[in-house]
């Protein structure tokens, strides 16, 4: 497999079962060439999205501009408030006829769409639509490649960032920067707790029901562990290094008590002054800045490293856009033109300015963007220190939910760590063996 992975903004997933990974014929999915010669693009297509990061207005403007340029109308369908809700609606639609032409897909969903034969390989249709794929950041577009074919274009892309309250840091006598390691942060957390900043906790872990598998990968990698081995389905959530990392997390909450666990959005908690620092998506950046206003200055930095690994410990995140296999060729061609326009060098800058998601094209002029909001530059710089996500989270159907349940049982309910992670490993291995291995 030549896939990497994405990540995502903070959106709920607790009750979602998601699509089956098996296609309608129950056979292995394969890609074949699609001939678009002589095809004229349709005059109207539909786009199902959850408007990640509050991107509804900017996406609507891009669609208006696209119609003015190409004469193709795009009907935006708000298909849910999260990637999971969109996926559920798409799953239901696949049993009938009312499917979209363009579908948004996060890191944990696009591969399932692929295994269902629900989306098409884009190589031929992008060529027919004259979309230059070399303009995209290689590390982002390669996230959607499988068996030498491309299945989506990067759209709302992010990395997690370390967010902090500069006023609290100053009150605690801390440097104006993110900690370089989690060991350093443990020391800083104690100083913040003693500084009487008014915060309940020095640090707030993001809600464990909202992408614990994504936000905790950084800590596991720093300790030399992971949910699975790099670029492999070899599950390692109960390895010694992974247990050490999760012990750090558990002790921060239950023993040392310098950290809490958010019940909703940890970045909202920080904006409200309930904690001094947290990890959140870059797609939350603009929203955090608006929520904070003039109350304090927001600082951001790279994710901390660990005692084993200090570099390349940051996962990427966010979503891409794919084209539905049910659509007619004329709609697929129109859809290809649209997703190329939606994610081009100019429009990706507009999306970034409105939300905090990263520009996905190397040809984008980021000078104005960085001048208006320099903090976005930290996310762009951190791209050089990213690592593909663990397969156990993004390519095992339901893996993210299983990880979330296991983590919650340990750090919120006080469950035993090693037995819980060993049970999680068995569960993930079982899903892989029954749902993934026969189809890849």
pLDDT per position as a tens digit, 180-202: 999 999 999 999 999 999 999 99
What pLDDT score was predicted for residue 34? 85
- Distance (Å, whole) CA 289 – CA 373: 10
Let me know: does 324 contact 119? Beta carbons within 8 Å.
Answer: yes
* C-alpha angle 98-104-108 in degrees, rounded to nearest 5: 115
Fold matches, 44-158+316-364 and 160-314+391-439: yes
CB-based contacts of 410: which residues, under 8 Å, 6+ apart? 246, 250, 416, 417, 420
Q: What is the DSSP letter of 23?
A: -
pLDDT per position as a tens digit, 98-127: 999 999 999 889 999 998 899 999 999 999
Domain map (residue ranges) of the chain: 44-158+316-364, 160-314+391-439
List the chain pLDDT tens, one digit each, 440 residues.
Answer: 333 333 333 333 222 333 333 333 333 345 678 899 999 999 999 999 999 989 999 999 999 999 999 999 999 999 999 999 999 999 999 998 899 999 999 988 999 999 889 999 999 999 999 999 999 998 899 889 888 899 999 999 999 999 999 999 999 999 999 999 999 999 999 999 999 999 999 999 999 886 889 999 999 999 999 999 998 999 999 999 999 999 999 999 999 999 999 998 999 999 999 999 999 998 889 999 999 999 999 999 999 999 999 999 999 888 999 999 999 999 999 999 999 999 999 999 999 999 889 999 999 999 999 999 999 999 889 988 888 899 999 999 999 999 999 999 999 888 999 999 999 999 999 999 999 998 77
This prediction has a pTM of 0.84
What pLDDT score was predicted for residue 30? 52
The residue assigned the tokens 């006598």 is 173
- Distance (Å, whole) CA 355 – CA 345: 16
pLDDT per position as a tens digit, 4-51: 333 333 333 222 333 333 333 333 345 678 899 999 999 999 999 999
CB-count exposure of residue 435 (10 Å: 0-12, 13-18, 19+): middle
Question: Do strands 160-165 and 275-281 pair parallel, antiparallel, or not at all (unpaired)?
Answer: antiparallel
The residue assigned the tokens 């989270």 is 393
Q: Which CATH number fits domain 160-314+391-439: 3.40.50.2300, 3.40.190.10, 3.20.20.140, 3.30.2290.10?
A: 3.40.190.10
Q: Indicate the class that CATH gives domain 44-158+316-364.
A: alpha beta
End-to-end CA distance of the chain: 9
């Amino acid at each position: 497999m030549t896939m990497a992975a994405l990540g995502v903004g903070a959106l709920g997933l607790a009750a979602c079962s998601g699509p089956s990974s098996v296609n309608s014929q129950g056979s292995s999915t394969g890609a074949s060439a699609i001939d678009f010669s002589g095809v004229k693009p349709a005059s109207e297509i539909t786009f199902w999205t959850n408007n990640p990061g509050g991107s509804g207005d900017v996406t609507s403007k891009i669609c208006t501009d696209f119609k003015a340029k190409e004469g193709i109308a795009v009907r935006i369908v708000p298909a849910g408030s999260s990637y999971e809700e969109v996926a559920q609606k798409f799953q239901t639609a696949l049993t009938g006829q009312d499917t979209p032409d363009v579908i948004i897909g996060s890191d944990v969903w696009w591969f399932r769409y692929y295994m269902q034969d629900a989306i098409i390989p884009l190589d031929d249709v992008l060529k027919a639509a004259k979309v230059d794929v070399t303009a995209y950041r290689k590390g982002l577009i390669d996230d959607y490649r499988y068996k030498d074919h491309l299945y989506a274009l990067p759209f709302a892309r992010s990395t997690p960032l370390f967010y902090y309250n500069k006023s609290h840091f100053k009150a605690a006598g801390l440097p104006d920067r993110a900690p370089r390691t989690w060991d350093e942060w443990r020391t800083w957390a104690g100083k913040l707790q003693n500084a009487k900043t008014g915060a309940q906790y020095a640090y707030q872990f993001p809600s464990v029901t909202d992408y614990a598998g994504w936000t905790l990968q950084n800590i596991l990698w720093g300790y030399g562990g992971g949910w699975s081995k790099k670029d492999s389905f070899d599950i390692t959530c109960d390895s010694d290094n992974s247990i050490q990392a999760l012990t750090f997390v558990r002790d921060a909450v239950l023993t040392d008590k310098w950290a809490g666990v958010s019940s909703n959005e940890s970045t909202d908690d920080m904006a409200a002054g309930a904690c001094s620092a947290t990890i959140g998506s870059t797609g939350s950046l603009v929203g955090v800045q608006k929520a904070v206003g003039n109350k304090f200055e927001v600082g951001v930095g790279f994710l901390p490293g660990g005692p084993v690994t200090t570099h390349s410990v940051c996962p990427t995140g966010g979503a891409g856009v794919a084209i539905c296999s049910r659509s007619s060729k004329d709609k697929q061609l129109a859809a290809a033109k649209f997703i190329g326009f939606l994610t081009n060098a100019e429009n990706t800058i507009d999306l970034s300015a409105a939300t905090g998601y990263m520009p996905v094209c190397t040809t984008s002029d980021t000078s104005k963007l960085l001048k208006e909001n320099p903090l976005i530059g930290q996310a762009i710089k951190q791209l050089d220190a990213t690592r593909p996500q663990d397969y156990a989270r993004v390519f095992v159907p339901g893996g993210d939910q299983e990880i979330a349940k296991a983590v919650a049982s340990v750090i919120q309910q006080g469950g035993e760590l090693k037995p819980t992670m060993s049970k999680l490993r068995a569960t993930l291995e079982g899903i892989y063996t029954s749902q993934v291995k026969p189809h890849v």
